[in-house]
Amino acid sequence: MKAKLFIVALLSFGLANTAMAAENLKEMFAQGSLKGEISLMNFTRDFKNGTKDNQDTALGGAFYYRTDSFKGISLGLAVGTTNGIGDYEDKGTYYGLTAPPDHANVTRLQEYYLQAHYFDTTIKVGAQEVNTPFLNIHPIRMIHRSYRGLSVVNKSVKDLTLMGYYLKDNLGWVDEEFVSFTDDVYIAGAAYKLPVEAVNTKVQAWYFTMPDSFNQTYFKVDFSKKMADYVLHAAPTFFTQKSQGDELDGELDTYQYGFNAGVSAFGFDLTGFYAKTGDDSIRDPWGYGKIIIQQVVNSGDSLSGDRSDEDAYALRLSYDFSKVGVKGLDAYVFYALYDAPASTINETDFSVQYAFSGALEGLSARARYAIVDKDSGQEDLDDIRLYLTYKFAFDGK
C-alpha cells in the first residue's frame, strides 16, 4: 500500500509545474512527463475436444513517469496493473490477462531506473522495458514484459544505432516480482539505415548469449521501394540458436530463415511469408523475432509442440479504410500453414481496429479472432480477443 501511495504522489507531483527547463532538482521532478494506457480486455480460448475453456475479463493498464533531464540525468518509474472482472471460476485462467491458477489480480512496479545521456549515448540502469529480437515487451496482454539490468544505446553516427544490454531478471505478463534468468543475459546489436536513395534499406544484426545456456545470432534486412502508387517491400531474416557451457536449459542446435515480401497500394497491403526451422524447435520465451507471428502460433515455436524441421507459409491481406473516407479503421485477414514432421497446424486470423479522433482521440477498439486447426490428435481451438484502450500523455514542460 505504501508503494502505491508513493507512486500516485510522485506521478501527481510530476505534473504540477510547467516551467521550460530543468535548472535544478526541483524543476527536474516538476517538469517530468507522464504517459499511460488504460484498457478493458476480454480474452477467450475455446477448445474443441473437451479441455476446459479459458476466459478472463480484466481492467488495468500502465502509467509511466519520467523526470526531466538535469545535467544529463533523469529518473523513470512505472506501475502496471491488471484486475479481473466477472466470475470465471468455471473457466481456466487466460494466461497473461490474470494470474493463474485462480484469476488473481496483479499490481506491480514495472520500471524504476536511472538514466544518463551524454555524447549521444543513453545509459539506463534498473528495471526497464526492452525491445530486441530476443527480449521484447510483448505488447499483446494487459501489462508489458519488463527486464532488470543495464542498457547502453549510442547514436553518434548518423543512421547508425549501437546497442548493448546486460540483464539479470525479467517480469512476465502477470509476475508480481522479478524472476532471475537461468543465466545472465548479454546482448549486442546494431541497426543501420543505408544511405541509398534507390531503395530504402535498413540492416540489423544481433548477438545474444547466456554463457551456460545458449546463444543466438540474428540478421534482418528491410527493403522498400515506392513506384508510382505502389510500395514494394521485403524483409529476409536469418537467425541461429545453439546451446553452450553447462547447457542449463538443455541441448539446442537450430536455426530459422525466411522472408516476408509484399506490395502496398490504394489502402491494401498483400504480404507473403516463408519460414524454415532447423533440427530443433525455436526457444523464444521472451522474444518477438520469429519470421511468422500470428495470434496463437508462431513459426518454429516450441510452445506449439515439436516444430523441428518445419516449413511455414503465410499470406496476409490488410486494408486501411481511410482510403474510402473512414479514418482510423483498418482490418486484416492472415492465414498460415505450419508443416512439420510431428504435426501440421493451420491458423486463420481476423482483426479489425478503430482509432477514434476528435474529442475521443486516444481511444481505440479492436477485435481479433483466430481459428486454429491441428492434426495428429492435437486439439483445435478458437481464440477471441477484445480490446478497448485509451492512451494519453502529458508533458510538464
CB 382 within 8 A of CB 372: yes
pLDDT digits (tens, 9 = 90+) for 342-378: 999 999 999 999 999 999 999 999 999 999 999 877 8
Domain 194-397 has CATH 1.10.357.10: no
Buried b (16+ CB within 10 A) or exposed e, 156-174: eeeeeebbebebebbbbbb
Rounded to an integer, the average pLDDT of 383-397 is: 94
Average pLDDT, the chain: 93
- Residue 54, pLDDT > 50, answer yes
Task: Provide the pLDDT confidence category of residue 1 given band limits of 50, 70 and 90.
Answer: very low
pLDDT digits (tens, 9 = 90+) for 148-174: 999 999 999 999 999 999 999 999 999
The end-to-end CA distance of the chain, in Å, is: 30
Got the DSSP string for 332-389?
EEEEEEEE-SS-EEEEEEEEEEEE--GGGTTEEEEEEEEEEEE-TTPPPEEEEEEEEE
CA distance 371 to 297: 11
Q: pTM for the complete prediction?
A: 0.90
Strand partners of residue 391: 37
CA distance 307 to 108: 35
CA distance 234 to 67: 39
CB 397 within 8 A of CB 29: no
CA distance 53 to 56: 10
Using a pLDDT cut of 90, give the percent of the chain over it. 86
pLDDT digits (tens, 9 = 90+) for 108-155: 999 999 999 999 999 999 999 999 998 999 999 999 999 999 999 999
- Residue 317, pLDDT > 50, answer yes
- Classify residue 300 as left (phi > 0), alpha (psi -120 to 50) or beta: left
The type of residue at 213 is: S
Please give the residue that has the higher pLDDT: either 16 or 24. Answer: 24
Task: Provide the pLDDT confidence category of residue 87 given band limits of 50, 70 and 90.
Answer: confident
- Residue 7, pLDDT > 80, answer no
Q: What is the residue extent of each domain of the chain?
A: 194-397
CB 362 within 8 A of CB 355: no
State the CB neighbour count (10 A cutoff) for residue 184. Answer: 16
CA–CA distances in Å: residue 22 to residues 64, 117, 391: 19, 14, 26
